[in-house]
Structure 1
Amino acid sequence: MMTEVVFPKSIWAATAPARTPAPALDHDREADTVVIGGGFTGLSAALELARAGQDVVVLEGQAVGWGASGRNNGQVIPTMTAAEPEAIATRYGPAGERFAKLIGNSASVLFDIIRREDIAAEAEQNGWFQPAHSPGRTALSKRRVAAWQKFGFPAEYLDREATSALLGTDFWYGGMLNPTGGHINPLALARGWRKPPKAMARPSMRRRPSPLGCARASIGS
Structure 2
Amino acid sequence: MSGALAPFWRASSLEVFEAAPFTGDHATDLAIVGGGYTGLSAALQAAGQGASVTLLEAETVGHGGSGRNVGLVNAGLWLPPDDLCRALGSEAGEHLTAVLAAAPDLVFALIDDHAIACEPMRHGTLHLAHAPRGTAQLRARLAQMQARGAPVQLLDGCEVAARTGTDAFHAALHDPRAGTIQPLAYARGLARAAREAGAELHEHSPVTGVEHRDGQWCVTTAQGTLRAKRLLMATNAYHTPAPPLRLPEMPVVQFYQLATEPLGDNRAREILPGGEGCWDTGLVMTALRRDAAGRIILGGMGGAGAIHADWAARKLAQLFPQLRGISVPHAWAGRIAMTGDHLPRIQRLGPEGFAVYGYSGRGIGPGTVFGKAVAGALLTGDETDLPVPVIAVHHEPLARLKTLYYETGARLVHLISARG
- For residues 80-99 of structure 1, the C-alpha deviation after alignment (integer angstroms, 9 at most, x for no partner) is 33x32023214422112222
Quote the offset at 1:133 in angstroms.
3.7
* Count of paired positions: 204
Task: Describe the shift of the 1:171–1:9 C-alpha distance in structure 2 as closer, same or farther (beyond 3 A).
Answer: closer
- For residues 107-136 of structure 1, the C-alpha deviation after alignment (integer angstroms, 9 at most, x for no partner) is 332222222221111221111101224445
57-66 or 156-165, larger mean C-alpha shift = 156-165
Mapping for residues 8-87 of structure 1, pairs under 5 Å: 8-17=5-14, 19-81=16-78, 83-87=79-83
Quote the offset at 1:30 in angstroms.
3.3
Structure with the greater relative contact order (CA < 8 A, sep ≥ 6): 1 or 2?
1
Contact 1:195 1:211 in 2 (8 A): no
Quote the offset at 1:177 in angstroms.
0.5
Q: Secondary structure of 1:30's partner? A: strand
What TM-score comes out, normalization by structure 2 length?
A: 0.44
The yes-or-no answer on 1:214 pairing with 2:210 is: no
Quote the offset at 1:172 in angstroms.
2.7
% identity of equivalent residues: 31
Q: Partner letter of residue 87 of structure 1?
A: D
What TM-score comes out, normalization by structure 1 length?
A: 0.79
Query: Could you tell me which residue of structure 2 aligns to residue 192 of structure 1?
Result: 189
Q: Secondary structure of 1:129's partner? A: strand
Quote the offset at 1:188 in angstroms.
1.0
C-alpha distance in structure 2 between counterparts of 1:131 and 1:89, whole Å: 24
Task: Describe the shift of the 1:163–1:18 C-alpha distance in structure 2 as closer, same or farther (beyond 3 A).
Answer: closer
C-alpha distance in structure 1 between counterparts of 2:53 and 2:71, whole Å: 27
Quote the offset at 1:49 in angstroms.
1.2
C-alpha distance in structure 2 between counterparts of 1:168 and 1:67, whole Å: 32
Q: Secondary structure of 1:188's partner? A: helix
Query: Could you tell me which residue of structure 1 aligns to residue 394 of structure 2?
Result: none
Instruction: Pick from 113, 118, 122 the counterpart of residue 115 of structure 2.
Output: 118
Q: Partner letter of residue 180 of structure 1?
A: R
Report the RMSD for the aligned CA atoms in angstroms.
Answer: 2.7
C-alpha distance in structure 2 between counterparts of 1:188 and 1:19, whole Å: 8
* Higher fraction of strand: 2
Query: Could you tell me which residue of structure 2 aligns to residue 128 of structure 1?
Result: 125
Structure 1 spans left out of the alignment, 5+ residues: 1-5, 201-209
Query: Could you tell me which residue of structure 2 aligns to residue 138 of structure 1?
Result: 135
- For residues 129-157 of structure 1, the C-alpha deviation after alignment (integer angstroms, 9 at most, x for no partner) is 01224445433322211211222222111
C-alpha distance in structure 2 between counterparts of 1:7 and 1:34, whole Å: 30
C-alpha distance in structure 2 between counterparts of 1:8 and 1:172, whole Å: 30
Q: Partner letter of residue 83 of structure 2?
A: A
C-alpha distance in structure 2 between counterparts of 1:139 and 1:52, whole Å: 46
12-21 or 170-179, larger mean C-alpha shift = 12-21
Task: Describe the shift of the 1:170–1:25 C-alpha distance in structure 2 as closer, same or farther (beyond 3 A).
Answer: closer
Contact 1:36 1:59 in 2 (8 A): yes
C-alpha distance in structure 1 between counterparts of 2:153 and 2:222, whole Å: 48
Q: Partner letter of residue 81 of structure 2?
A: P
C-alpha distance in structure 2 between counterparts of 1:190 and 1:44, whole Å: 9
- For residues 23-76 of structure 1, the C-alpha deviation after alignment (integer angstroms, 9 at most, x for no partner) is 222233332212111111110111111222222221122211111211122222
